Amino acid sequence: GIQVEQSPPDLILQEGANSTLRCNFSDSVNNLQWFHQNPWGQLINLFYIPSGTKQNGRLSATTVATERYSLLYISSSQTTDSGVYFCAVPAYSGAGSYQLTFGKGTKLSVIP
Amino acid sequence: DTGVSQNPRHKITKRGQNVTFRCDPISEHNRLYWYRQTLGQGPEFLTYFQNEAQLEKSRLLSDRFSAERPKGSFSTLEIQRTEQGDSAMYLCASSLRPTGGFSGANVLTFGAGSRLTVL
């Protein structure tokens, strides 16, 4: 199956700082999603971004499918950005499976 | 649209007991998924339904686990003869089959999860 690696595993930021989270994957994908899991465990879908760039407020994401990586940018971080950020891709290349494989996540702590 | 609802939110049980979790997906979503998440890990896929048909099951899913979606609406996940290794957060997600032949778009909306503790 497709492997997913996220970096860094942990990140501590001062409020107001910017950060970049990375997701590498081992095969071509037609589906890549970024999720934020808040400290209460709720997973929120941030982006569906198999290729290209999208922006949503202070967050943006870029996927370079040919080089098999995706980046999540957080600008002007706030304490509410704290939590774990996961990247997820299909478990297998090709059609027929709807399993997503998640990376181990980047744990972000934003301190005031 | 009230989102994906899961019940109970927390369950503590003794080893060997059976437990059942319920998931109510977003009403117009025809796809439903169960994932399991242990501490410090990302969610792991368990099973997937399209309407009432269970189309995929993880090889990780032992025969003590069974899931149903009887009328293509809510789903239940039952764990029989629970073991301490079953302690985890059980997450349900739903999605809408995309139109226009775009097979890649499968955006998941997750519920808040059901946390199981097996003593």
Nearest CA in chain B to A31: B104
Contact between chains at A103 and B55 (C-beta distance less than 8 A): no
Looking at every residue in chain A, the average pLDDT score rounds to: 93
Query: What's the pLDDT at B1?
Result: 56
Contact between chains at A31 and B55 (C-beta distance less than 8 A): no
Q: How many CB pairs under 8 A join A and B?
A: 58
At A2-33, the pLDDT tens digits run 899 999 999 999 999 999 999 999 998 888 99
Q: Mention every residue, 6+ apart, whose C-beta is less than 8 A from residue A10.
A: A106, A107, A109
> Is it the case that residue A84 has pLDDT exceeding 70?
yes
Nearest CA in chain B to A6: B42
Query: What's the pLDDT at A93?
Result: 72
B45 in Cβ contact with A88 (< 8 Å): no
Read off the pLDDT band of B28 (50, 70, 90): confident
What distance in Å separates residue A21's CA from the closest CA in chain B?
Answer: 16
Q: Where are the beta strands (DSSP E) in chain B?
A: 5-7, 10-13, 19-24, 31-37, 44-50, 53-57, 65-68, 75-79, 88-95, 109-110, 114-118
At B50-91, the pLDDT tens digits run 999 998 899 878 899 999 999 889 999 999 999 999 999 999
Cα-Cα-Cα-Cα dihedral sign, residues B26, B27, B29, B31? positive
